[in-house]
Structure 1
Amino acid sequence: MPQSLLGRMLTNTVWLLGGKGFGAICSLLYLAILTRTLGIKGFGHFSLIFGTSQALVALAGFQTWRIVVRYGAEYVHNKDWGAFGRLSALCGLLDILGAITGTLIAWVVFFQFSDALDINPDLVQTAFWFNVAAIWALVSAPTGIVRALDRFDAATYVEAVVPIGRLIAAVAIWLTEPSLIRFLIAWAVIDLIEALLYWLLARRLAPEAINWRVMRDWRRALHENLGIVRFFLITFATATVDAAIRNGPLLAVGYFAGTKAAGLFRLAQQLSQGLGKLSTLLTRSAYAEIARARFAAASDEFRKLVVHTSLLAGAASALVVVLSVLLGKQLLALLGGDDFGAAHAILIPLTVGAAFELASVAFEPVLHSTGNARQALVAKLLSLGVMAIFVAMFADSHSAVGIGWAIAISGATAYFFAGIMAWRKLDSPVLPADR
C-alpha cells in the first residue's frame, strides 16, 4: 500500500531525527568540553568566530539545495536524469561562485573589522582561514540532490560524520594540549571531509545525472527551468535576511556587551537550537515532500499534508518551550558549569523564538512550491526589521536578555505574516516562477 504524503514526510523526518538525535548527544558532549576547557572568555571568542562563519556561509551559500528540490523533484519523478544532472551542475557552479564571494567577504571582515567583533588580534589569521574552510565546505547542491531523490536515509550517515568527528577531535584535544586554535582547525577539517562525502554520495545515488557527459551542458538548465533566475535571486535574498536574523544577534551581543556575554549568549543559543532542532528536520523533509506533492498529488491531499504538518509542528513547539523552562537551567549548568548559569535568562526568549520557527515549518515550502517565494522573503524582511528595532531599543542597556526577546518577537512576526500568506495560497494553481 502506498505510503501517505504525511507518512512519507514523517519517515524522512525520523531518518533525520535519528541522525540528528545521535548528533545532538555528540554535540552536547563536545560543547561541554569546549565550555569547560576554554572558559567563558575563550568560548566567547570561539562563538564569535564560529558565529561569523555561520553568517558568511549563509550569505555566500546561495541556497542551491532549494533550487534542486524545487525544480528537480519533477525531473526525478519523471526520471529525466539529463535535465536533473544539468540543473545539479548549474547549482554546483553557483556554490563555487558563492564560495569565492564568501572568501573575499571574509577577508574584509577579519582584516578590516575584527576590532568591531572584539576578536583577539592573535586569532585573526586563524579565524579567517577557519571561515574560508567553512565557506568551501558548503554542501548545498549535493544536499539538494539527495533530498530530491528522497534519500534522507543515506544523508543521515554522511551527516553523522560531523558530530562524531567533532566529538573525537574534542576528546583528543582535551586530553593532549587544549587550545582554541586546535579546536578551530579540527572543526574546519571535519567540515571539508563531510562536503567531499556528500558529493560522492550524490554521484553514487544518481550516476545517470551526476557525470561529466551530462553536467557539462549546464547552460541548458537556464532555459529548461522557467523562472529559475528569479527564484534563485529571491531565495538568496531570503537566505541572506535569514542569516542576519540567526547570526546578527550574537554579533550584536559581542559588539555591545563583549566577549563573555557572547559566550553566555552562544551557549544559550546552542541549547535553544538543540531543543528546537525538530524545526530544521521538519523543514528539510517538508520542503521536499511539499514540492513533490504540489504537482504529483491532488489538491485536497496537498492541503491535508500542510494542515497536518502545521498541527504537528505547533504541538512540538509548545513542548520545546516547556522543556526549556523546566530543564534549561540544569542543562546549562551541566554543559558549562556554574559560571554559565546566568545564560538561563537568555535561553527562555531564544527558545520562544525557536518555537515560532518550528511552528511555521510548512509556510515557506508552500509559498515556494506555489510560485510565491517573494511572499516568504517579505515575511523575513518584516521579521528582520522588527528585530532590528527591538535590538536597538535594548542596545543601550547592553542586555543580552533583551536581544533574546527581540529574537522572540521577530519570530512571532514572521510566523503570523508567513502563515497568513501561506494559507491564502494553498489552493492557488502551480506557477513556474514567482509572481
Structure 2
Amino acid sequence: MRDKIRVAELFAGVGGFHLGLKRADAKFDIVWADQFEPEKKHQFAYDIYKARFPNTLISPKDITLVDKSDIPTMDLLVGGFPCQDYSVASTVAAGLFGKKGVLWWDIKDVIEAKWPEFIFLENVDRLLTSPGVTKEQPGRDFGVILRTLSDLGYSATWKVINAADYGFPQRRRRTFIFASREDTNYHAEMKREIHRKASNIANFLKRLAPLSSSLVVQKITEIQNVNLNEFKSLAKFSSEFKVKNGFRKMGIMLDGQVYMADYSPKSKQPITLSEIIKPNSSIGSLYLNEEKLSKFKRLKNGFRTEKISKTGYSYKYGMGAINFPDPLDKPARTMVTTEHTVSRMSHVVSDPGNGRLRLISPEEAELINTFPEGWTKLEGVSDSERYFTMGNALVVNLVKEIGIEISKIISNESEKSEFRSGRKIDYITH
C-alpha cells in the first residue's frame, strides 16, 4: 500500500481537484499545480488557490511556456482543460497544432515528459460530439484525444456524469476521463477482462471507473465499436476521423479499440436550491429592478431558427425556454461565469425570505459547487471574479466520490522501482 499518491494539477482554478481529492483520501499529495487565466491581468484564481493551499508548489505561468521536464514526478495527472479545437494542422511546416487546441497538446507534452501511471481529466459533455453533429467530423476532437492517449501507451475509460445524479445541488454534466498506463495492474486487468468477456462488454462497462462503483448504471444501450487504428498518422486521423453522432456517454479505449454505449443511472435524491439559497439577502445589488426584470423575461424565452454552416449545410438551431425564476425544489442548472450579469443562463431565484427576485450570491455559487462558503472571498478579488471562478469550477464532492475510487485503484499498484520516460508521438508520420 502506498503512503502517498503524488498528484500534479493542470488548469487548477481555485482548487476543485485538490480539495475533492483531499476529501477523498489524505494520501493524495498535490506536489505541483499550474493556474494561468489567459487575457486576465489579475490572476485572481491563482491568488485564491495560493491563499487556500499555501504549502502547495503552484506556478502562475502559462502552461504553454512551462518546461515540462521541470514538473515534479507524479503518480496521477489531473486537470479540467478547455474544450476548443483539437485538430492537428498539417502544413508545409509539418506538425503545427490547431490554434485553439494547444492546451490539449500541452497535456500531451506533460504526459510524454513525466509518463504518470494514471490520468484523470474533466471536460464539457459536448466534447464527445465536438466539433458538433452539424459539422463534417462529429466526434473528431474526442477521437484525437483517445488516439493520442493510445499512442502514448494508455488505455482510457470515460463517462458523462451529471452531478445531480449523485445527490449534489447542480445539474452539471461533464465528461470525466480516466486513463491508465500500459504497465499498470489496472491496465492489465482491463485487457484480460476485454479479451475474456468480449461477448459481455456491457456488464464490464458498468463497473469501470470513473464512478461505476458508486453510481448504479440502470440501463445501457447496444455496444458500439470504433477502431482508432484505421489511420496510420495522427494528422490523417485528425483530418478524416468521424463517428456518426459522436461518441456515446460511457466507454473504454484499449489498444486503439473503443467499446461504448449510452447509459441511464439510478439517481440519488439531490440537494435542492431550497437548501442553498439563504433568505433575506442583504446584498442589494442582487435584486432585480424593472429594467433587469424585463430583460430577463425576454432572455429566458425560447427561440428557434435555421442556420447555414460554412460548407452550406442547413440545420435547425434553437433554445428552449428556461424556468423563470429557477425553481427552489430542484438542484441548480449548470452555473456559468457570468452569473452576476443579466444573461439567459444566469440563475434568478425568488428570495425565500421576502419573495423578491434576485441573482444568486457568490457564497451561494460556492455552495452549489460544494466548496466551503467563502472559499473565493479574498482581499483584492471582486465579486465578478468570484462568480467567474465558480462558473469554471468543478463540483468538489463529485471529485471526492471519483477520488475514492481512484485511490483504491492506485493503492492496488506496486511501487515502481524506477522512473520510465514515456513514448513520443510524431504528429505527422506516426
Q: Same fold (TM over 0.5)?
A: no
What's the TM-score bracket when you normalise by the shorter of the two chains? under 0.3
- State TM-score, norm by structure 2: 0.24
* Higher fraction of helix: 1
- State TM-score, norm by structure 1: 0.24
* Higher fraction of strand: 2
